[in-house]
Amino acid sequence: MSFAEIHFLSDSLKQGVSAAVFMPEKGPFGSDAEPPYRTVYLLPGYSGDYPSIYTMLGIRKQAELKGLVVVIPNGQNAFYIDHPERNANYSKFIGEELIARTRDMFRISDKREDTYIAGISMGGYGALLNGLRYHDVFSKVAAFSPATNPFTLMEYPERGGFGAGEFANMFSSKDEYENSEWNIVKGYKEADKADIPELFIGCGDKDIAVDSQVKEFRQTLEDAGVPYKYFGTTGNHDFDTWEKMLDPAFSFLAGIPEGSRNRLAIPDMEI
Amino acid sequence: MSFAEIHFLSDSLKQGVSAAVFMPEKGPFGSDAEPPYRTVYLLPGYSGDYPSIYTMLGIRKQAELKGLVVVIPNGQNAFYIDHPERNANYSKFIGEELIARTRDMFRISDKREDTYIAGISMGGYGALLNGLRYHDVFSKVAAFSPATNPFTLMEYPERGGFGAGEFANMFSSKDEYENSEWNIVKGYKEADKADIPELFIGCGDKDIAVDSQVKEFRQTLEDAGVPYKYFGTTGNHDFDTWEKMLDPAFSFLAGIPEGSRNRLAIPDMEI
Amino acid sequence: MSFAEIHFLSDSLKQGVSAAVFMPEKGPFGSDAEPPYRTVYLLPGYSGDYPSIYTMLGIRKQAELKGLVVVIPNGQNAFYIDHPERNANYSKFIGEELIARTRDMFRISDKREDTYIAGISMGGYGALLNGLRYHDVFSKVAAFSPATNPFTLMEYPERGGFGAGEFANMFSSKDEYENSEWNIVKGYKEADKADIPELFIGCGDKDIAVDSQVKEFRQTLEDAGVPYKYFGTTGNHDFDTWEKMLDPAFSFLAGIPEGSRNRLAIPDMEI
Amino acid sequence: MSFAEIHFLSDSLKQGVSAAVFMPEKGPFGSDAEPPYRTVYLLPGYSGDYPSIYTMLGIRKQAELKGLVVVIPNGQNAFYIDHPERNANYSKFIGEELIARTRDMFRISDKREDTYIAGISMGGYGALLNGLRYHDVFSKVAAFSPATNPFTLMEYPERGGFGAGEFANMFSSKDEYENSEWNIVKGYKEADKADIPELFIGCGDKDIAVDSQVKEFRQTLEDAGVPYKYFGTTGNHDFDTWEKMLDPAFSFLAGIPEGSRNRLAIPDMEI
């Protein structure tokens, strides 16, 4: 596996940023992937960062076995939205700048059919949001326990550390939020179905942080006749649960059957 | 030289954070430093981050020759101030949490006389601010071209990328800023002189970003009878200028004469 | 979790070296560990390096849940033995220098009862070898599919990439190897039992690389009346198998029952 | 600046390896470089590694200002030569595998006219050696205080830490070395002049480690009518001296006049 940590100056955020990049390697676990590589941009959740993601989850294994490049930026708890008046354009950063910079640096594909976005929790919200905003860039979205409604996330303080002051700073008032471009429930309801990327949503059955949000979002999709792949599993809003979602989500992105390429094992031999 | 990159979950910022840590090494350039090590916390400026700082400036050389541990966190353009309502407590992060975490991880000294804070531009503001707020933690402050008055920084757009929307989000209105704990001109004017750490200020003679601010700040110190060491040099608000400030600033922190320990050269020998 | 990458100049190897260091973090997964921390030195196998180990295996999860510091150096395919005439003293590097340097840098315990060594494959050999050579430093050894007999490893070319030329460069002839201090079968047979650290050995039931070696080594221990904990599992000489050994091995090192602290899950709650 | 650390499994060395990669960034210091980028492979010296190189020398500044990608691998004190019987093929690693892998990963040029090799001390030997062996890959060589004659380097123990045992393990006997493909004095003397890349050699006037070697090598080139650019400066075999060679060497590689692009300073402005 080739594994890189990159650092560059972001114009959208006016600060130096860092990210992890995993590239498949022709080797014993032999993905056949060749450049230009298919790529998924995987967004961390609230309180997350890229070192946590790749040390807590088997991301490298997925990249290697599924033959995908995986790029993991930092979200800095900013919900992947734009605040141009503050030089904090996280949506633009994800959908335009990070894409352009990584394509400038690495031999990754610039085709929509080869470019995907994924995310965990707040990152799942960010993936659904920017997957739709930049639907001409991304062909697939994989959302792990997405916080599809930040207002709901905030309302119940025991759910995450995201509270009223942070919501206000991020989204203003409830009304403004609901009428804004950051309201993805509304966004997906009103979108032209032809614009919506292929969707994968995973969630644990005891997820105290986002369960009601995911139910609401799924209902919205169904009412609008938007197809999506759902992976329900046991578990709460934690890494053990997201580990279980890895193969289903990455198989979805790679376009292969679940479980068909998920073993690092070298073949058994008679001794 | 021992050089580390650390990643940990910050409670003050509610997100994963990263930092660089340089530790002196008993070796050919032979600092005699022994644990527990004297330590300087060096704050990046607006748009900066720790990878930029240590790849653009000879920080490692300073750490090694002066026998100091240097810790470089990221500032994320947040001026090192607290916004508790948003879980963005950068002052507390610097003055309390980063100190506690690094002392928990590394064999660095917990004595005030061994603990220093420094910074560049916005980081210079952050160092002066938190050096005073946490004067019981830090005994010395070294400010490289400090942006001592964020309002002035914002007023003239060609000076940095920091504009009105960002100022408002950070400091509210001009009046609120001027009356707040974040106004270091006021802070240093009103402080008990016994509380103020030893001060070093460096600035280039053609610094278009902070020249008037530094003049104002120096005048404030002089009017209040607060001593400080000043290093004026040629240059603008850039890395070439800050490189020239390294030995003066680190010699000040280490308590040795300028130039006395600034050569990596092995001794010449007759051939 | 605190996670660091360190770089320093090694005197035993006369070159700059790098390592990964994971430190437990008081947090949601709440290890109660306090400094000075208990520490395990985990040695990579042939062709391995520390980035592979921590991206392919859930090492961070183990460090966090078991409350141990984990240090992972690079082995550079050198079997963790000494070649003083070539400035390649990998045994001394592991047993003396890495210990001293990490204790100099980090707040880790210097007690034998708190210091452990582990390794995978060639690293398992290195852990058994140096656990015994430096039995005054290490109180426990955890060997994952150890290559306990490098001569056997070499003899059958399809087992690993380690061949005759490399064996000769590393160990000289078969006779010299068998009579040397690097022959751990002989070493453990002849050792004073009181000197031998507590031992854990794990192996897969279809391990084509080291199965006969592990059988030989276990027999040697049994014949010499040396107790050891054995964890047999399904699988070959690969990461999927070593992932299964993590909790048993780290529970052994931490002195807790297997499975008692192996869940990152936050508690379920009624919704 | 984009700065990456990469890790991948090397087939030539049968181990995981790491390297630093600096990429020019369109920004305030505005290199105009566009992909596919011109690239220099910069080899560390004896006892060196890539973290030392980029923290001790202003490499990033050079990459940015000259518009070049700089790749810095580790040399592991192996003189960049091949030992196929030991799976330690460092020459092949540099001239074939690292080239292929970086071209697979990054958008760097695959043209000879855009590909260069450089090195410091033992790395200077490695650059001259592999620049000639792989003259179809590299169009320019920049050697900083090159150890052009490892036998001489070994002969005088106070020069470096490289001794007789290491020489023997690396090069066998003096005679075998002198008649081997690793003898670059012989290699450059006998080479077809049309094959030799453009050469740059820098050396300090009091370099106790390699002065006689460099004199011998220069004489060899002159006797053979091979042109080369020489940069003599003050200093010994140390980083302060190599820092002085950076602009001359990188200007040579970039094909621009010395000093023409060596300032990070933003332009002065009237205040």
Give the A window 88-147 contacts with B, CB below 8 Å.
none
Tokens of C223: 């014949």
Q: Which residue has the tokens 């990046």?
A: B44
Q: Exposed, middle or buried, A223 (CB in 10 Å: 0-12/13-18/19+)?
A: exposed
How far apart CA C132 and CA C114 sit, in angstroms, is 16
Q: What's the one-letter identity of residue D153? A: L
Q: C37 to chain D nearest CA, in Å?
A: 27
Mean pLDDT in residue range B103-115:
95
DSSP A75: -
Q: Which residues of D fall within a CB distance of 8 Å from C53?
A: none
Enumerate the β-bridge partners of residue B120: B144
* Number of Cβ within a 10 Å radius of residue D27: 13
In this prediction the ipTM stands at 0.91
Rounded mean pLDDT of A2-27? 89
In this structure, are residues C71 and C20 in contact, taking their beta carbons and an 8 Å threshold? yes
Dist CA D3 CA D27 (whole Å): 14
Neighbouring residues of C259: CB distance < 8 A, sequence distance ≥ 6: C247, C251
D54-72 pLDDT, tens digit per residue, is 988 999 889 989 999 999 9
Which residues 191-250 of chain C have a CB within 8 Å of chain D?
A: none
pLDDT score, position B266? 66
Instruction: Kindly list the residues from chain B whose CB atom is less than 8 angstroms away from the CB atom of residue D208.
Output: 268-269, 271
Confidence of residue D110 (pLDDT cuts 50, 70, 90): very high
Q: Which residue, chain included where needed, has tokens 């290199």?
A: D31
Structure tokens at C265: 């899950």
Find the mean pLDDT for residues B239-247. 95
CA dihedral A79→A81→A82→A83, nearest 10 degrees, is -40
Burial (CB count within 10 angstroms: exposed 0-12, middle 13-18, buried 19+), residue C173: exposed
Determine contact, residues C22/C101, Cβ cutoff 8 Å.
no
Question: Which one of A4, A7, A25 has the shortest CB-CB distance to D9?
Answer: A25
For A51, A192, D5, D65, D175, the CA distances from D19, given in Å and listed in that order, are: 19, 46, 6, 21, 34
Residue D23 to residue A105, Cβ atoms within 8 A? yes
Classify burial at D187, counting beta carbons within 10 Å of its beta carbon; exposed 0-12, middle 13-18, buried 19 or more: middle
Does the beta-carbon distance from C265 to A58 stay under 8 Å?
no
Instruction: Specify the pairing of strand A2-10 against strand A15-23.
Output: antiparallel
Q: Tell whether the model's pLDDT for residue D29 goes beyond 70.
A: no
Cβ within 8 Å of B, D 16-75? 22, 51-52, 54-56, 58-61
Percent of chain A surpassing pLDDT 90: 78
> Residue B47 and residue B44: Cα distance in Å, rounded?
8
pLDDT at D269: 41
Degrees, nearest 5: CA angle A147-A153-A159 = 105
pLDDT band for position A154 (cuts 50, 70, 90): confident
CB atoms inside a 10 Å sphere around CB D221: 18
Q: Which of A11, A12, A49 to mutate to test the interface with B (most CBs of B within 10 A)?
A: A49
Residue C3 is nearest to which of A55, A211, A236, comparing CB atoms? Answer: A55
C-alpha distance from A251 to closest chain C C-alpha (Å): 18
Distance, in Å, from the CA atom of A237 to the CA atom of C266, rounded to the nearest integer, reads 7
Q: pTM value?
A: 0.93
Can you read off the two tokens belonging to residue A247? 């193969």
> What is the structure's pLDDT at A159?
52
Q: Which two tokens stand for residue B131?
A: 């050096």
Closest CA to D169 of C82, C83, C177: C83
From B253's Cα to the closest Cα of chain A, the distance in A is 27
Which chains have 3 or more CB–CB distances shorter than 8 Å to chain D?
A: A, B, C
Do A74 and A19 touch, CB atoms closer than 8 A? Answer: yes
Which chain A residues are within 8 Å of B165, Cβ to Cβ?
83-87
Percent of chain B at pLDDT exceeding 90: 78
Q: Indicate whether A270 pLDDT > 50.
A: no
Rg of the Cα atoms in chain A:
18
Q: Do B208 and D238 touch (CB under 8 A)?
A: no
Q: Predicted confidence band at D89 (pLDDT cuts at 50, 70, 90)? A: very high
Which of these ranges, B63-67, B262-266, C182-186, D124-128, has the smallest mean pLDDT? B262-266
The answer to whether B246 and B56 are in contact (CB under 8 A) is no
CA-based nearest residue in chain B for residue A46: B15
| Structure tokens given for B113 | 């006389």
Assess contact for C65 and C71: CB atoms under 8 A. Answer: no
Mean pLDDT check: name the lowest of A69-73, C31-35, D103-107: C31-35
Mutate to test the interface with B, among D18, D53, D55, D211 (most CBs of B within 10 A): D55
Report whether pLDDT(A225) > 70.
Answer: yes
As a whole-number percent, the residues of chain D with pLDDT over 90 amount to 78
Residues 6+ apart with CB under 8 A from C189: C220, C223, C224
pLDDT value of position A208: 85
The DSSP annotation for chain C comes to: -EEEEEEEEETTTTEEEEEEEEE--SSTT-----SSBPEEEEE--TT--HHHHHHHS-HHHHHHHHT-EEEEE--TTSTT-EEGGGTEEHHHIIIIIIHHHHHHHB-B---GGGEEEEEETHHHHHHHHHHHHTTTT-SEEEEES----HHHHHHSTTSSS--HHHHHHHH-SHHHHHTSTT-HHHHHHHS-GGGPPEEEEEEETT-TTTHHHHHHHHHHHHHTT---EEEEES--SSHHHHHHHHHHHHHHHHTS-TTTT---PPPP---
Tell me how far apart the alpha carbons of residues A176 and A71 are, in angstroms, rounded to a whole number: 32
Let me know: does A20 contact A76? Beta carbons within 8 Å: no
Cα gap C169→C177, rounded to integer Å:
11
Q: Which one of B9, B27, B107 has the shortest CB-CB distance to C105?
A: B107
Confidence check: pLDDT of A130 > 80: yes
B80 or D209: which carries more pLDDT confidence?
B80
Chain B's closest residue to C106, CA to CA, is: B106
Q: Is the Cα torsion angle D117, D118, D123, D128 positive or negative in sign? A: positive
pLDDT at C160: 56
Partner-chain contact C238 A264, CB within 8 Å: yes
Binning pLDDT at 50, 70 and 90, where does residue D271 land?
Answer: very low
Question: Is A48–B16 a contact, with Cβ atoms under 8 angstroms apart?
Answer: yes
pLDDT for the residue numbered B154: 80
CA–CA gap between residue B6 and residue D66 (Å, rounded): 31
CB neighbours of B38 closer than 8 A, spacing ≥ 6?
B67, B68, B69, B108, B109, B114, B115, B116, B254
Closest Cβ opposite residue D76 in set C7, C15, C51: C15
Question: What values do phi and psi take at D215, rounded to 5?
Answer: -60, -45
| DSSP for A106-161, written as a single string | B-B---GGGEEEEEETHHHHHHHHHHHHTTTT-SEEEEES----HHHHHHSTTSSS
Mean pLDDT, to the nearest integer, of A49-69? 92
Residue of A nearest to B165 (CA): A85
Instruction: Name which of C2, C6, C9 is nearest B8 (Cβ-Cβ).
Output: C2
CB atoms within 10 A of CB A113: 10
A157 half-sphere exposure, CB direction, 13 A CA radius:
3
- Average pLDDT over chain B, rounded to an integer: 91
- Touching subunits for chain A (3+ Cβ pairs under 8 A): B, C, D
- Beta strand B2-10 pairing with D2-10: unpaired
DSSP per residue over D31-76, as a string?
A: ----SSBPEEEEE--TT--HHHHHHHS-HHHHHHHHT-EEEEE--T
Q: Give me the long-range contacts of D232-235 (CB less than 8 A, separation at least 24).
A: D232/D202, D232/D203, D232/D204, D232/D205, D233/D202, D233/D203, D233/D204, D233/D205, D234/D204, D234/D205, D234/D206, D235/B265, D235/D204, D235/D205, D235/D206, D235/D207
Nearest by CB to D161, which of C14, C77, C168?
Answer: C14
pLDDT digit string, tens, across residues D115-168: 999 999 999 999 999 999 999 999 999 999 999 999 888 876 555 578 888 999
Would you write out chain C's pLDDT as a tens digit for each of its 271 residues? Answer: 688 999 999 999 999 999 999 998 766 555 678 889 999 999 999 989 999 999 889 998 899 899 999 999 999 999 999 999 898 999 999 999 999 999 989 999 999 999 999 999 999 999 999 999 999 999 999 999 999 999 888 876 555 578 888 999 999 999 999 999 999 999 999 999 999 999 999 999 999 889 999 999 999 999 999 999 999 999 999 999 999 999 999 999 999 999 998 887 665 543 3
Q: Tell me how far apart the alpha carbons of residues B73 and B50 are, in angstroms, rounded to a whole number.
A: 6
Give me the pLDDT at residue A214, please.
96
Confidence check: pLDDT of D195 > 50: yes
* D221: nearest Cα among D136, D121, D131, D160: D131
Predicted confidence at residue C30, as pLDDT, reads 56
Determine whether the interchain pair A268/C206 forms a contact, defined as Cβ–Cβ distance below 8 Å.
Answer: yes
| pLDDT computed for residue A269 by the predictor | 41
Higher pLDDT, A55 or C271: A55
CA A111/CA C181 separation, integer angstroms? 58
Chain C: residue whose CA lies nearest to B37: C105
Residue D232 has pLDDT above 60, yes or no: yes
Task: Identify the closest residue of chain C to A3 by CA–CA distance.
Answer: C51
CB contact under 8 A, B271 and D212: yes
Identity (one letter) of the amino acid at D105?
Answer: M
Of the candidates A15, A49, A85, which has its C-beta nearest B49's C-beta?
A: A15
Residue to substitute from D52, D57, D76, D93, interface C, most C β-carbons within 10 A = D76
**CB-CB: which of C4, C8, C107 is closest to B6?**
C4
Q: Hey, which residues does D200 pair with through a beta bridge? A: D142, D229
Question: Chain B residues with CB inside 8 Å of D55's CB?
Answer: 1, 3, 22, 54-55, 59-60
Contacts of D248 (CB under 8 A, 6+ apart): D200, D202, D231, D258
Mean pLDDT of all residues belonging to chain D = 91
